[in-house]
Chains A and B, each alone.
Chain A
Amino acid sequence: MAELSWPPQGKAAVVGKPVERIDGPAKSTGAAKYAYDINAKGMLFARLLGCPHGHARIKSIDASAARQVPGVRSVKIMKEPGKGRKSEVLWEGDLIACVAADSDGAAREGVAAIRVEYEVLEPFVHEEFLAAAEQAGRTRSGGDNIKLQREPGDDEDEDEFADKEIARLLEEADVVVDAYYGIHSICHCPLEPHGSTCVWEGDRLLAHLSTQNVSGTPGQFASPLGITANDVTVHCDYIGGGFGSKFAADSWGVVAAQIAKETGRPVKLMLDRDLELKNAGNRPSGFIRVRVGADKQGVVNVWDSHHWGTNGPSGAPVSQGVIPYVFDPPNRRRRVTRVRTNTAPSRAWRAPNHPQGAALSQTAYDDVARKLGIDSYDVFMRNLPSVSNGKADVYAEQMRIAADLINWKSKWHPHGKGEARGSIVSGLGMALHTWGGGGHSSSCLVKIHPDGGVETFLGSQDLGTGTRTVIAMVVAETLGLPPAAVKVHIGNSQYPQSGPSGGSTTVAGVSESNRRGATAALEELAKLVAPKLDAKPEEIEAVDGRVRVRGKPNRSLSWKEACRLLGMKSIEARGEFKRGQPTDLSSSGVAGVQMAEVEVDRATGVVRVKKFVAVQDMGLVVNPLTAKSQIYGGVIMGIAYSLFEERIFDARTGKFLNADMSSYNLARLGDIGEIVVELYEPESEYRRGVIGLGEPPVISPGAALSNAVCNALGVRVPVLPMTPQRVLAALEKASVSS
């Protein structure tokens, strides 16, 4: 196969043009069928019992009354009573039992009839309070990491040297910020909860699973069911949100399949909203104490931090690698403490670690500007030489574009020094981010039929990012057809394997495999067309619905005429891409700058987003329409976790108090202000090829909004989300201490 590339910038026929998502009509008319929507004949409804205590041991379970409930067909116990580890419940909502019944109502009645005797144990759920965590025996060191310009002498103890050296650097700094920041855990909260509709066809399982991992989940069902992966088909045409939480079959998926097998009836098991929030995915929290030393210009020379947080029972906090985030000053020490809590285990949440890293460290950079009374923009700009990803020039250019779009220079004022309108003050803040986004391994099968029909098959999935549409565009570009001429088949594990959709790896992966597969298919077609046009196969190209000799529109066949040469046999060509292989079609590594303008009411503590600017590179932009949507979405999710969204636990019982949609606060349509998205795609980016976009835009909002609020008030609201209570508490604290 010839060396593959994309057309030069501006020359592509389809790629780079805004194309409406091809599954848009199905979604907006309710025709799209999600796992929750699959209704099978004779289907049972299954519901789960969650533990009502934050920490407990199960002494006994009596399900006899549940089995007597009319309509109940099966009760499965998922936790073992007794003395062993398996009987210990480590968070409220951990799953105890499953009931399947003829109707949803009967299943719920069955769940309510299960009698469980618990020995209630001491819970710990408030990891923000490190001293309390230590007292409760819930902490342990997560290690430390030191980088200093000077090295210790041969006979010097390394730790003692580091202590002294950091003390010296802080002493010598023109300004020192000594601060505390935090970001609470949030849930994935996909609107379609986790779950599946499981149907057995003889000895084969068909699992309609809400999943980000179509190709990777059959084996997860097979192993506990005692069958092999070839006897499992996972199907997912549409997934109602995942955000990193839906890579697995999960215990409840397996239980559904087991009950379906035993009863001989299909089983639908989707989590209730409260069990979804309590079990099925959250993001680790992070809290930090930090001292930062900088010069008069705001250039940071030394960073010394201790951060802690939790990912649940095992206590792994935010990774050290993102502290401080993007900026990597010449001298730094970071220490980590793990805190074990009685909360559900975390799952990968869109851009794992990065949003927390930004919120825990770029706030400190902004506080350097505040303390010096200088412009945060200048401080960020002056620190760009220390960025760890070699993209200082890209950030600088993106900062200039973002500043223009938000009118930074004319609107900025020193922190807390803006003009107030009554109790309303406004402010500006910024942050920057980075992500990889290289393509995952992906295979596809492209078919060209004698009647001109084109199809591609791959075991990928469209999370709402527009994957289906991108695939159609790439194949269409390659074959000189409109996207509507390409039928895209994804969402079935019987198709060629394609990677899980996580870490912004999908768009590059599927663009690779489909560009390759469609090129190989076209090469097959060219062998038949070439003799008819008196040319060599390698001279053939497909443009504008015609197959022609390169650059010679008058020596051509229409697409249909060309395909008719196939006779009875369709072309089938594989496209293969292995993650990391050398390629000109895709790449990895992006930057991104975001700026926020907020209004804060000092009387009520309410923060409103007025304007939000996101400038984002992603290499070659395949579909600017859906790319922009991704960025809008990332920003809006960011507004949610910055201002509204958090899990609230009761310290005494360990209960998750707001595990429902009415009190687990997400942003609503009226909360988003004006969002301006700029796709940054100079030729230098375009020629890098396709790079993933899902994660980057969700990273910076926490820091950008915190910095904007701080600029408005002149006071840092240290912990996200910046609810009215926290804003008022920060103002109160500042007025007491001044």
Chain B
Amino acid sequence: MKDSKHLRPPKAGFSRRDFLKGSGAAAAATAIGEGVSGAVAAEAGSSVVGPGPVSIALNVNGQRRSATVEPRTTLLEVLRYQFDLTGAKPISEDGSSGGSTVLLDGKPVSASTVLALEAVGREVRTVEGLHGDPVPAAFVANDGQQCGFCTPGFVVAVRAFLDKHPSASEAEIRAGLNGNICRCGTYANIIQAVLDVVKGGSDG
């Protein structure tokens, strides 16, 4: 996380909203900020990007990574096809399966519903960035996975859920983790895995 600081929007002076308002930028282009180095974006005061490919930098799992994207390119596409981070899965495009769940500034989002440009200047954390976290270890210990295709999205969703509810009860777990779909039917073991992490049962 060392080099993530300089990617964040500057805290002092003005907010992003003020900046955009003040610059008269189109509201549609909220995604632009430092990190976009496309020819058009480089023009002072302009916030229109594309339609051609532009270069951006993203902060992924604490590392600064460069990518070339079109305006339509999703965060999921960049992660999978440019960074080869294939943990987040394309299960549904509309986010209804939770398969592509990643953390954006700590909040769970479906990477398939986020444009790559929207992720500029924000911290992206993928399942690969949870190496050593007790959540994936608890999935293994409790066999909370079968085919495994939904597992990375579930692991990230559980991480986000526990960040918010570190001592969740079983009833809260059953109520709070319904954004992710598993087809093999691993839910019973996932519930145990989450309870395990709450109890500190998995050493990770």
- The main secondary structure of chain B at its interface with chain A is loop
Q: How far is the CA of A670 from the CA of B189 in the complex (A)?
A: 13
A662 in contact with B96 given A31-B128, A104-B77 (CB within 8 Å): yes
B130 within 8 A of A: yes
Whether A633 contacts B190 by the Cβ 8 Å rule is: no
Whether A464 contacts B94 by the Cβ 8 Å rule is: no
Whose C-beta in chain B lies nearest to the C-beta of A23?
Answer: B148
Whose C-beta in chain B lies nearest to the C-beta of A38?
Answer: B86
Please indicate the chain A residues that have their CB under 8 angstroms from the CB of B150 in the complex: 191
B127 within 8 A of A: yes
A672 within 8 A of B: yes
Selecting from B23-31, B33-41, B173-181, the interface stretch reads B173-181
Q: How far is the CA of A433 from the CA of B127 in the complex (A)?
A: 39
Whether B87 contacts A668 by the Cβ 8 Å rule is: no
Whether B149 contacts A670 by the Cβ 8 Å rule is: no
A39 within 8 A of B: yes
Whose C-beta in chain A lies nearest to the C-beta of B133?
Answer: A29
Whose C-beta in chain B lies nearest to the C-beta of A240?
Answer: B149
| Chain B 169-204 residues near chain A, CB threshold 8 A | 173-175, 177-178, 180-191
Whether A637 contacts B185 by the Cβ 8 Å rule is: yes
A732 within 8 A of B: no
Please indicate the chain A residues that have their CB under 8 angstroms from the CB of B108 in the complex: none
B120 within 8 A of A: no
Please indicate the chain A residues that have their CB under 8 angstroms from the CB of B70 in the complex: 103, 105
Whose C-beta in chain A lies nearest to the C-beta of B147?
Answer: A464
The minimal Cβ–Cβ distance linking B52 to chain A, given in whole angstroms, is 10
Whose C-beta in chain B lies nearest to the C-beta of A242?
Answer: B147
Chain B: interface residue total (CB-CB under 8 A): 59
The minimal Cβ–Cβ distance linking B192 to chain A, given in whole angstroms, is 10
Please indicate the chain A residues that have their CB under 8 angstroms from the CB of B168 in the complex: none
Please indicate the chain A residues that have their CB under 8 angstroms from the CB of B175 in the complex: 670
A27 in contact with B145 given A661-B94, A661-B96, A669-B187 (CB within 8 Å): yes
Which of A28, A239, A463, A675 makes the CB contact (< 8 A) with B155?
A28
Whether A191 contacts B97 by the Cβ 8 Å rule is: yes
Whether B130 contacts A633 by the Cβ 8 Å rule is: no
B59 within 8 A of A: no
B93 within 8 A of A: yes
* Residue from A191, A242, A635, A660 having most chain B Cβ neighbours under 10 A: A191
B47 within 8 A of A: no
* Residue from B128, B144, B150, B183 having most chain A Cβ neighbours under 10 A: B183
Q: How far is the CA of A313 from the CA of B22 in the complex (A)?
A: 62
Please indicate the chain B residues that have their CB under 8 angstroms from the CB of A463 in the complex: 146-147
Contact with B along A232-258 (1 / 0, CB 8 A): 000000111111000000000000000
Contact with A along B126-167 (1 / 0, CB 8 A): 111011000111011101111111111001000000000000
What is the interface of chain B, defined by CB distance below 8 A to chain A? 70, 72-73, 77, 80-81, 84-94, 96-97, 99, 126-128, 130-131, 135-137, 139-141, 143-152, 155, 173-175, 177-178, 180-191
What is the interface of chain A, defined by CB distance below 8 A to chain B? 20-21, 23-34, 36-37, 39, 103-105, 189-192, 238-243, 270, 273, 463-466, 625-626, 628-630, 632-637, 660-662, 666-670, 672, 675
A-B contacts, 12 listed (Cβ < 8 Å): A20-B141, A25-B137, A27-B151, A28-B127, A30-B86, A105-B73, A273-B93, A625-B143, A629-B186, A630-B146, A666-B183, A670-B174
